[in-house]
């Protein structure tokens, strides 16, 4: 039952009965309904002030007349207070309708199919070839993964793209270094770490012998020209990097539909450049080719260097056109740090100037930076935290906590993996994505705070209650047993879950789901301490078990949608 719509319909019927035909639609009434900050003021409140002019009555008189005219079975009470009409839903009916709907729909609770027939392309993670996966890639990876799952939940055809950083002179330098000092077996065994050693050695030796840089540029030119030997080594470097990255993605439970990176668009840029020329958008500036964006308060978009080389934006233009042509997306999301805000404003403006009205479907999903235990990360200064190291440490720390708190647990290693990795992901997605994050072990792995382990433990607690209840006498739920404030707080949150998910997907904001899971966990734990579930009265027990199962289901789904697993025992 949609209580908001039901209340709006009651108001409309009462308006017609008390004042004749009302020049307002039920949808407008529903939009005007407010949720009071204190449940003592009602579940919904309708301000009658906007009707005062049309009806030529005071708001208080209108509220009084409507209160007298409304007598719906699902309403426990209707009050007129200072021009507001306050509605109190019958507590038992409210609990019955919400829990029956949530339990009936199961994992699909809240999935309205609004994305059916639509396609979204999500560009996220975008790791660099020949470099290790570090903590700086955590936010883009997990925000993107959550948005991918949220869109799939609402029925979208979602396409996840890992736009690999696999283009540039550095790859020519790596090949030159490999040819001089490397060998296949050593790199195959050492993986990305061995490639990084070769690259560091190349740059160090190039300081003494600058001619090495020319050698690196020559090898990159061979990559650009499609030279078989250069491409063979280059593609091998990519496969070694992706093999290393797959370990981390497997730990995080992340998959991609496409690994088309920058190099994929090498032969797709010229058509874009041709369109820019045809539209008269390219302007020469000191030998380079630019698109002047000064009329929109932006620096020029540099399309071609003076030597004819392409840039990030050239490849991103080609990628945007390719994705539209290939997937015919209705929405294209770029999950990239906020430092690239100007780049994406330029990109979308150039797409608009090229005449592509679908530029409106493109969105930069920006996020803040990550520091670790109060220290900013810097590759140059050597302060970098590799993601596989971080996740492994998180699992080890979770294992130690579980050993201390639950030594009798049978599957400690599996739960430690779920809790440790879940803690890292949850911590990353807890705050609004635009905020900077300072990762802290103490906060992330706290079982009592607003953390992943706390929500996971609450889910496990609900599972434990349901296990203990298995085999007990079945009875019809007495929903009046859920009329107390603690039960009602839980029911109210479960009712809000579909709207939370809808807002999260519309605003590209997974933190809304993360924070909701904490709110629901806290509300359930208060309910659990204030209300004994396994009471003798069969109807009361059945109602409280139904609420417990709805919490279990909702927490599990919320955690899944942010990329966190839900252990059944902890």
- The helix (run of H) or strand (run of E) holding residue 99 is helix 91-105
Q: Is the dihedral of CA 357, 358, 359, 361 positive or negative?
A: positive
Do residues 108 and 152 touch, judged by C-beta distance below 8 A? no
Burial of residue 247, with CB atoms counted within 10 A of its CB: 0-12 exposed, 13-18 middle, 19 or more buried: middle
CA of residue 190 relative to chain centroid, distance: 34
Q: Which residue has the tokens 């209705």?
A: 330
| CA distance to 236, 254, 302, 333, 550, per residue, from 263 (Å) | 14, 23, 19, 20, 48
Phi, psi of 125 (to 5 degrees): 75, -70
- What's the maximum distance between 2 C-alpha atoms anywhere in the chain? 92
Q: Give every strand in the sheet of 375-376, ordered side by side.
A: 375-376, 370-372, 437-439
> For residue 289, what are the β-bridge partners?
284, 304
Burial of residue 189, with CB atoms counted within 10 A of its CB: 0-12 exposed, 13-18 middle, 19 or more buried: exposed
Do residues 180 and 114 touch, judged by C-beta distance below 8 A? no
Residues identified as active-site: 131, 134, 137
Burial of residue 198, with CB atoms counted within 10 A of its CB: 0-12 exposed, 13-18 middle, 19 or more buried: buried
Q: Give the span between the Cα atoms of 404 and 445, in whole angstroms.
A: 14
Q: Give the span between the Cα atoms of 505 and 330, in whole angstroms.
A: 14
DSSP 3-state percent helix, strand, coil across the chain (nearest 5):
60, 10, 30
Q: Give the span between the Cα atoms of 1 and 89, in whole angstroms.
A: 12
Do residues 140 and 162 touch, judged by C-beta distance below 8 A? no
Helix residue ranges per DSSP H, 406-510: 412-430, 441-444, 452-469, 485-506
Q: Give the span between the Cα atoms of 131 and 134, in whole angstroms.
A: 9
Q: Give the span between the Cα atoms of 245 and 172, in whole angstroms.
A: 22
Q: Is the dihedral of CA 205, 211, 214, 215 positive or negative?
A: negative
Q: How does DSSP classify residue 134? A: B
Long-range contacts of 440-443 (CB under 8 A, 24+ apart): 440/373, 441/373, 441/394, 441/397
The token pair at 120 is 């979204």
Give one DSSP letter per residue of 308-329, joined into a string: S-B-HHHHHHHHHHHHHHHH--
Give one DSSP letter per residue of 486-497, joined into a string: HHHHHHHHHHHH
């Amino acid at each position: 039952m949609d209580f908001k719509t039901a209340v709006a319909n009651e108001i409309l019927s009462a308006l017609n009965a008390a004042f004749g035909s009302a020049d307002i639609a039920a949808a407008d009434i529903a939009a005007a309904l407010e949720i009071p900050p204190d449940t003592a003021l009602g579940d919904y409140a309708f301000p009658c002030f906007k009707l005062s002019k049309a009806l030529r009555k005071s708001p208080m008189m209108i509220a009084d007349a409507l209160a007298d005219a409304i007598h719906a079975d699902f309403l426990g009470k209707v009050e007129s207070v200072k021009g507001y009409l306050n509605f109190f839903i019958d507590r038992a009916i409210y609990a019955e309708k919400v829990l029956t709907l949530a339990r009936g729909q199961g994992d699909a609770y809240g999935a309205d199919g609004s994305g059916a027939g639509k396609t979204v392309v999500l560009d996220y993670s975008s790791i660099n070839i020949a470099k290790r996966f570090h903590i700086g890639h955590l936010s883009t990876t997990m925000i993107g993964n959550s948005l991918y799952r949220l869109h799939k939940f609402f029925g979208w055809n979602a396409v996840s793209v890992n736009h690999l950083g696999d283009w540039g002179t550095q790859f020519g330098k790596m090949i030159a270094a490999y040819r001089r000092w490397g060998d296949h077996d050593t790199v195959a065994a050492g993986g990305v770490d061995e490639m990084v050693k070769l690259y560091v050695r190349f740059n160090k030796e190039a300081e003494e012998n600058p001619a090495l840089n020319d050698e690196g540029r020559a090898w990159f030119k061979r990559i650009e020209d499609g030279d078989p030997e250069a491409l063979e080594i280059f593609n091998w470097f990519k496969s070694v990097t992706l093999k290393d990255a797959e370990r981390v993605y497997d730990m995080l439970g992340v998959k991609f539909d496409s690994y088309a990176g920058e190099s994929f668009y090498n032969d797709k840029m010229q058509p874009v450049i041709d369109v820019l020329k045809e539209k008269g958008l390219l302007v020469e500036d000191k030998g380079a080719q630019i698109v002047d964006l000064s009329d929109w308060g932006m620096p020029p978009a540099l399309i071609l260097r003076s030597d004819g080389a392409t840039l990030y934006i050239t490849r991103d233009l080609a990628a945007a056109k390719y994705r539209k042509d290939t997937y015919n997306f209705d929405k294209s999301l770029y999950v990239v740090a906020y430092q690239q805000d100007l780049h994406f404003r330029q990109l979308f403006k150039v797409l608009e100037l090229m005449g592509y009205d679908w530029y409106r479907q493109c969105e930069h999903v920006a996020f803040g930076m990550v520091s670790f235990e109060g220290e900013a990360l810097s590759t140059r200064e050597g302060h970098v935290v590799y993601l596989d190291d971080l996740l492994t440490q998180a699992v080890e720390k979770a294992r130690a906590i579980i050993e201390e708190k639950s030594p009798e647990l049978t599957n400690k290693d599996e739960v430690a993996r779920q809790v440790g990795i879940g803690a890292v992901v949850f911590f990353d997605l807890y705050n609004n994505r635009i905020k900077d994050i300072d990762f802290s072990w103490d906060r992330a792995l706290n079982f009592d705070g607003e953390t992943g382990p706390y929500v996971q433990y609450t889910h496990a607690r609900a599972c434990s209650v349901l296990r203990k209840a298995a085999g007990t006498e079945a009875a019809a739920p007495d929903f009046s047993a859920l009329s107390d404030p603690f039960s009602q707080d839980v029911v109210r949150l479960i009712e809000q879950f579909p709207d939370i998910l809808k807002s999260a997907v519309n605003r590209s904001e997974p933190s809304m789901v993360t924070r909701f899971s904490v709110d629901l966990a806290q509300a359930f734990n208060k309910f659990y301490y204030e209300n004994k579930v396994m009471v003798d009265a069969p109807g009361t027990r059945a109602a409280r078990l139904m609420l417990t199962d709805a919490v279990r289901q909702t927490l599990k789904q919320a955690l899944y949608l942010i990329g966190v697993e839900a252990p059944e025992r902890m």
